[in-house]
Amino acid sequence: MPDTSHNPVPSGHPFCRRGRSTEGLIKAFFGGNAALTIVILVLIILFLLREGVGFFPEYRTELQNFRKSGLEFVDIARKDLTAHEQMGSLLNRAYFAQVNSNCREEMQRLEEATAIVNYLGEATAPAHDALVQVTDAESNSPPTPELLQKLSAQYRKRLADALSGRLGKGFPPTPHLSRTEQQLLCDQIAARDPLSTDDPAFANELQASLAAKRELSAAPLIAFRDAIDAFQSSSSALDVLVSETSDTVKATKEAAVLHGIQVRKRQTLLDAARTAKPDLRSQLEADIAAAVTTEPVDFTAAMAPVLARIPQFKEANAAMSAGLTEVSEKLPLSLSDEKADRYLKAFRAATPAMAAETADTVGLLEGWRADVPVGIGMTISGFISGRDWITGGEWQDIYGILPLFIGSLMISIIALAIAIPFGVGAAIYTNQLAGPRQQRFVKPTIEFLQAIPSVVLGFVGIAVLGTLLQEVSTLDSLSWIPGFPIQQRLNMFTAGCLLGLMAIPTIFTLSEDAINNVPAAFAEASDALGASKLQTIFRVIVPAAISGILAAVLLGLGRVIGETMVVLLVAGNRIQIPDFTDGIGTVFQPAHTLTGIIAQELGEVPFGSVHYRALFVVGILLFVIVLAINWTAQRLLRRFRISQH
């Protein structure tokens, strides 16, 4: 039988296809949309890579310069100095906490008196300002007596109102001042000349009594004070040395950078001259001749005077070590005030580390070589495992993403710790336990959370959650919770809470889907065996949906890691690896994140600079992390679907 299937339908025949071109057009249109989307995605990746990849060689050159000009050398010594300063400040805090602990009553009395003075001052401010204005010596015409009288009367009236507590927020509470003392203070202010801003005599008295009390309580601590002063001054030699040598090396570095810029400029001009028109060429050639005005820097010669001071560094280092040993012996064993004692204990705990660090320094200084090249591997590992992210300084920009990465990670963990129980729990409730009416209410309501713009959540976090948490944390009954009272209003926990809130709808919706997709036959079989509702849920339904739930959690994590606005507003933005010695309380420290740093700094960096490129590398890293998370989630989901059929 001959194959006729390829013979065209004769035109004019009713079966002949019409409008073939429209169909092709529609296909091309939709296909084009899909293709364009994919092309844009590829372009974004390429762009990210192009901007980011240049970072490592450039950063390497910077680090090379950092070493050659000796900045690194000075940094070795400076590290001790910083540590010493921190130790000194710990001691100072212990000292002042101890001194103030004895004067709490006086401080509160003074505070309350000041509050009254301020309240009255604010209440009478309009009348007072008017009086000041008219009596101003510079003004053209002296005020008429009537005007003065009128304004004074106004002032008196407002003052009287304020004294009876009728203005503003009302009279401030004064639990530590007696009724007579309060009356005395008010009388003194009432008697004060309207134009005077002097503190009333009673306030001055309180101040004097506080000062006296301070002196009194400082007296037994005089040995402690002396020990602190001696400790602090033990670093003065190093301080001078570091500041002098850092001036030298900074000058070297700046000269080298300037020379580098000039060389680059000449190169650009040379390139331009090669293709320029003849009439421009002479001008360009003149520019080229004038481009480089500085000599190339002789790093070895520049570094020689600094290296020559190594013996001095040694001496300064020894002085500091001695200072540390000495102060450790002289410190009191413990302090009666709890806060002061905590600072003292922190000092003691940090002493061995500080001693060890100081001891290494001489060896490091002597072993330091300017000519050891900085490898690209070192640059990369320094970027990934670097503990500092220092930018915008005069000294040297350091790019280490560890603090940012840890910040992002901790905030995500907190967010998930909050979002998983709520999201999955709500999904189980909605799907398994709620009646149809509750279902109709709960599902859209939780999904509605997603509609809140993250910036709005951000200011809810700042204005409500942060303040609320901090106030709650000062309650005495809650002081057993690690990290309470919270020192910083904006911290990882606040950010984690809000991000958790943002992840709940994602986790809820997808978990609910996963649970809903578990065949009813499983639940029916379990029911028929006499299982209770909870047994059915936790032994049959949740295990059957577990990979779907995991995928939901991962997608929630992807959302949390990539979120920017909330963390930028609420996480506190301190670029530092959190101090994990606080245990669980670590979560109440501020942190900065991978996303936050890009949002914060990208707008301010010069286009194409090393800093700019560093931010792109952070962006690539984020992209890779989120990609990996989403990919894993997709795979889990696929496995889940297969296991269902």
Partner 1 sequence: MVSDSVQPAIPAIEIENLRFSYGTKEVIHGVSLSIPANQITAFIGPSGCGKSTLLRCLNRINDRIPGAAITGGSIRIGGIDISRPDLDLQVLRRRVGMVFQKWNPFPKSIYDNIAYGLRIHGETNRKALDEKVEHSLRVVALWDDVKDRLKTSAFGLSGGQQQRLCIARTIAAKPDIILLDEPCSALDPLSTLKVEELLLELRNDYTIVIVTHNLAQASRCSDQTALFYLGELIEYGNTSQMFQAPREKRTEDYITGAFG
Site string for partner 1, 600-619 (x = CB under 8 A): --------------------
Distance CA 486, CA 90 (A): 19
**Binding residues among 523-542 for partner 1 as defined by CB under 8 A:** 523-532, 535, 539-540
Binding to partner 1 in span 259-288, by CB under 8 A: none
Amino acid at position 191, single letter: A
What spatial distance separates the first Cα and last Cα of the chain, rounded to whole Å?
44
Q: State the minimum distance, in angstroms, from the CB of residue 643 to partner 1.
A: 6
CB environment 143-154: b (16+ within 10 A), e (fewer): beeeeeeebeeb
Task: Provide the minimum distance between the beta carbon of 532 and partner 1 in the complex, in angstroms, as a whole number.
Answer: 6
Q: Which is nearer to partner 1, 438 or 532 (CB)?
A: 532
Smallest gap from residue 399 Cβ to partner 1 (A) = 49
Select 308 or 521, whichever has its Cβ closest to partner 1: 521
Structure tokens at 232: 């602090």
Which residues partner with 29 through β-bridges?
A: none
Contact mark string toward partner 1, 337..356, x via CB under 8 A = --------------------
User: For the window 538-577, what string marks contact with partner 1 as x by the rule CB under 8 A?
Assistant: -xx--xx---------------------------------
Asked whether position 316 contacts partner 1 by CB under 8 A, the answer is: no
Measured from the CB atom, the residue of 358 and 432 that comes closer to partner 1 is 432
Minimum CB separation of residue 443 from partner 1 in Å reads 17
* Total length of the chain: 645
What sections of 375-435 are H helices per DSSP?
376-385, 402-428
Rounded least distance, CB 644 to partner 1, Å = 8
Return the number of other C-beta atoms located less than 10 Å from residue 3's C-beta: 6
Q: Tell the residue number behind the tokens 């849920």, with chain if given.
A: 537
Nearer to partner 1, 50 or 533 (CB): 533
Could you give the CA distance from residue 511 to residue 420 in angstroms, rounded to a whole number?
10
Q: How many residues bind partner 1 (CB under 8 A)?
A: 20
Judged by beta carbon, residue 19 or residue 530, the one nearer partner 1 is 530
Which range, of 180-188, 249-257, 441-449, 519-527, touches partner 1 by CB under 8 A? 519-527
The conformation of residue 15, written as its DSSP 8-state character, comes to: T
- 494-504: b (≥16 Cβ within 10 Å) or e: bbbbbbbbbbb
Interaction between residue 521 and partner 1 (CB under 8 A)? yes
Question: What CA–CA distance (Å, rounded) separates 244 from 74?
Answer: 10
SS3 for 488?
coil
Q: How far is the CB of 531 from partner 1 (least distance, A)?
A: 5
Cα 433 vs. chain centroid, distance in angstroms? 42
Position 43: which residue type? L
Q: How far is the CB of 551 from partner 1 (least distance, A)?
A: 16
Nearer to partner 1, 210 or 540 (CB): 540
CB neighbours of residue 18 within 10 Å:
8
Q: Which is nearer to partner 1, 487 or 532 (CB)?
A: 532
- Closer residue to partner 1 in complex, CB, 89/532: 532
Least separation in angstroms between residue 538's CB and partner 1 is 10
CA angle 215, 216, 220 (to 5 degrees): 105
Which contiguous run of DSSP H or E holds residue 590? Answer: none
- Nearer to partner 1 by C-beta: 317 or 526? 526
Three-state secondary structure readout of 419-454: HHHHHHHHHHHHHHHCCHHHHHHHHHHHHHHHHCCH
Q: Is the peptide bond before 485 cis (omega within 30 degrees of 0)?
A: yes
Site for partner 1 in 379-438 (CB under 8 A): 436
Q: 142 vs 543, which CB is nearer to partner 1?
A: 543
Q: Does 517 bind partner 1 (CB under 8 A)?
A: no
The residue with tokens 């006296």 is 212
Q: How far is the CB of 545 from partner 1 (least distance, A)?
A: 10
- Which secondary structure element, helix H or strand E, spans residue 490, and what is its range? none
- The answer to whether the beta carbons of residues 414 and 500 sit under 8 Å apart is yes
Q: Which residues bind partner 1 (CB under 8 A)?
A: 436, 519, 521-532, 535, 539-540, 543-544, 643
